[in-house]
């Protein structure tokens, strides 16, 4: 599948993402050297993998309670905010676009 990613400087890149490896979007972004801390390792506890879904919000599963709680705590959360660690790459996500939203470290 193809996913577009906008980094902190505003650059947009289209990446080819595998859906047969069980990767989360967070793991995929890290593998592509985006500066995501993911301090909690994907447990929906740190919110450093916060992304804004610019396109394709309707392609995603609803957030779970833990993710909702984290998003509620974020000062910069938007209606289309998600935690990238809670999004498992799957064929439905083809064509989505996300923008990195967590504070840059």
Q: Which residues bind ligand FES (CB under 6 A)?
A: 26, 38-40, 42-49, 83, 85
3 vs 26 by CB, closer to ligand FES: 26
3-state SS, one letter per residue, for 54-104: EECHHHCCCCCHHHHHHHHHCCCCCCCEEEHHHCECCHHHCCCEEEECCCC
Provide, rounded to whole angstroms, the least separation between the CB of residue 48 and ligand FES: 6
Q: In what order do the strands lie in the sheet with 81-83?
A: 12-16, 2-6, 97-100, 50-55, 81-83
The two structure tokens encoding residue 94: 């083809």
Provide, rounded to whole angstroms, the least separation between the CB of residue 45 and ligand FES: 5
17 vs 84 by CB, closer to ligand FES: 84
23 vs 40 by CB, closer to ligand FES: 40
- Read off φ and ψ for residue 53, nearest 5 degrees: -85, 105
Say how many residues make up the chain.
105
42 vs 63 by CB, closer to ligand FES: 42
Provide, rounded to whole angstroms, the least separation between the CB of residue 82 and ligand FES: 10
Provide, rounded to whole angstroms, the least separation between the CB of residue 5 and ligand FES: 16
């Amino acid at each position: 599948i193809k996913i577009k990613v906008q980094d902190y400087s505003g650059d947009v890149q289209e990446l080819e993402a595998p859906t047969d490896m069980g990767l989360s979007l967070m793991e995929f972004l890290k593998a592509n050297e985006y500066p995501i801390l993911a301090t909690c390792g994907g447990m929906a506890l740190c919110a450093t993998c916060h992304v804004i879904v610019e396109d394709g919000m309707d392609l995603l599963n609803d957030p779970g309670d833990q993710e909702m709680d984290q998003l509620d705590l974020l000062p910069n959360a938007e209606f289309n905010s998600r935690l990238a660690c809670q999004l498992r790459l799957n064929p439905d996500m083809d064509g989505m676009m996300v923008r990195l939203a967590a504070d840059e470290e």
